[in-house]
Amino acid sequence: MSAPKYSLTELRNLQEDDELDLSACGIKDFPNAIVQLTRLTKLDISSNSIAYLPESFCKMTKLIRLDFGNNQLDHLPDGIGYLTSLQHLNLYNNKLEDLPLSFANLKSLKWLDLKKNPLNAKLLAIAGNCGTDAECKTAAKQVVNVYMGDRQKQIDNQKAQEAKHKAKVQKAQEEEKIRKHQEKKKKDLEKKNEGGCEKNVMRKPFFVCIWNRFCLQNVILSSSDGDASESSSYVLNVYAPSNSKQNVKIFRKFSYFLPLLLDFPDVFIGFLIKNSKNQLKNYENCRKIEKNRPENNYFRR
């Protein structure tokens, strides 16, 4: 014999005022049309074979008395807490092990029967035997206020621990990222400074053609774009008044201008170190040494 399936019309015909009794009808699947009976206050669907309640069932917020005894329910829907008007709940002889967190919202619950369910040890101890009407009333208060409260605290503590652990991991990751960045910055700086200014000159030499007179101090000159070991070096002492900065011109291939030293003795060609701290900083000294300026042979190889 197949399990009965009720249409909305059939359910309305079975409804008496705001009550509906479908007990011992051989029902295996919860009739979804029931949720459309929004005015129901009492529903008895006990002694059937229902194993699952849909979330839509939780829309029946006017229910006051609900009897699901002698079914096959292994869990309640998460939204059961929306049934805030519920006062009497019979879950006798099902397969429940625990209750959803929203069960804590059933503050109006005055009677609860959880006998003959494979409840976890803590819930079983708090719910008690539910052998009498008084014990069922006590069970309702204890489960809603004590068990669900303790469980909520436990979950909150667990979430707090997880959040703390997550924050700790994120902090460690940020510190590691900063440490790696600092190490990279340090290595780049060491690599940049490796071999001193002279090595840096060999990598990216620049030259300066000075048409008037200009003051520099012992600038190391490179005659090649190659490695330092393959380059010739010159030491240059050039003296000039402070207003000659505007006459400085930068050239990149100094080998083409080196012959100018022989042909134009009044033209001073020098090479500035790109990253040198002494670039264009010696204007104040030029006045002191102008009178001692050599007249010829400013370069010494």
Inter-CA distances, 112 with 64, 183, 272, Å: 12, 65, 92
The dihedral sign for the CA sequence 291, 213, 280, 246: positive
**% of residues, the chain, pLDDT over 70:** 63
Q: What domains sit in the chain, N to C, each tagged with a CATH number?
A: 8-154 (3.80.10.10), 197-300 (no CATH)
What is the pLDDT at residue 298? Answer: 45
Residues 123, 98 contacting (CB under 8 angstroms): yes
Residue 202 has pLDDT above 50, yes or no: no
Residues 72, 116 contacting (CB under 8 angstroms): no
pLDDT band at 3; cut points 50, 70, 90: low
What does the pLDDT look like over 18-76, one tens digit per residue?
A: 999 999 999 999 999 999 998 999 999 999 999 999 999 999 999 999 999 999 999 99
Euclidean distance between CA atoms 77 and 105, whole angstroms: 13
Give the rounded distance of the alpha carbon of 77 from its chain centre. Answer: 31
pLDDT band at 163; cut points 50, 70, 90: confident
Cβ atoms within 10 A of the Cβ of 212, count? 15
DSSP alpha helices (H): ranges in the chain?
8-14, 121-127, 133-141, 148-193, 196-203, 260-263, 283-289
What is the pLDDT at residue 27? Answer: 93
Residues 6 or more apart whose CB falls under 8 angstroms from that of 131 comprise: 115
Question: What three-state secondary structure class fits 84?
Answer: coil
Cβ atoms within 10 A of the Cβ of 162, count? 10
Residue 99, class by beta-carbon neighbours within 10 Å (0-12 exposed, 13-18 middle, 19+ buried)?
Answer: buried
What does the pLDDT look like over 84-99, one tens digit per residue?
A: 999 999 999 999 999 9
What is the pLDDT at residue 231? Answer: 37
Burial per residue of 262-285, b for 16 or more beta-carbon CB atoms within 10 angstroms, e otherwise: eeeeeebbbbbbeebeeeeebeee
- As given in the structure block, the two tokens for residue 151 are 């469980």
Q: Which helix (H) or strand (E) holds 267?
A: none
